[in-house]
Amino acid sequence: MAQEIQAQFGRVSIREEVIATIAGVAAMECYGLVGMAPRNIQEELTDLLRRDNFERGVDIQFNEDSVTIQLYIVVEYGVKISEVARIVQERVKYAVETMLGLNVDSVNVKVQSVRVTSAKRK
């Protein structure tokens, strides 16, 4: 699937993977988020085959003139999860809207798991 934008000199179409990559990279830059969770078994398999899969854990839905983004994330134990989720929503929306010029209808965040780093257990 691709989203099309009518520009002055013709159409611009943007593939789903492009939107997903931009959303994924923006999300991964957010503090407190430590990973994207695979959406399904297929994606878990792709993970084994590809090193840098920035689209991992990102779902894009196309609406009439906007997109809806679904993110499956892993957060670090000990951060304020509600605040991290809010920041992720804000940044992903901003990145996709400014870089691609698409309207983002909503960014839904699913916290799939929490990582407990047991680096030190004295």
For binding to another protein (CB under 8 A), which residues are involved? 28-35, 75-84, 87, 93, 105-106, 111-114, 116-117, 119-120
Residue 99 sits at the vertex; the CA angle it makes with 98 and 100, to the nearest 5 degrees, is 100
Min CB(14)–another protein separation in Å? 20
Q: Between residues 58 and 84, which has the closer beta carbon with respect to another protein?
A: 84
Tokens found for residue 114: 């929490």
Return d(Cα 20, Cα 27) in angstroms, integer. 10
Min CB(122)–another protein separation in Å? 8
Q: Between residues 70 and 112, which has the closer beta carbon with respect to another protein?
A: 112
Min CB(79)–another protein separation in Å? 6
Dmax (CA) for the chain in angstroms is 65
H/E run at residue 46: helix 41-49
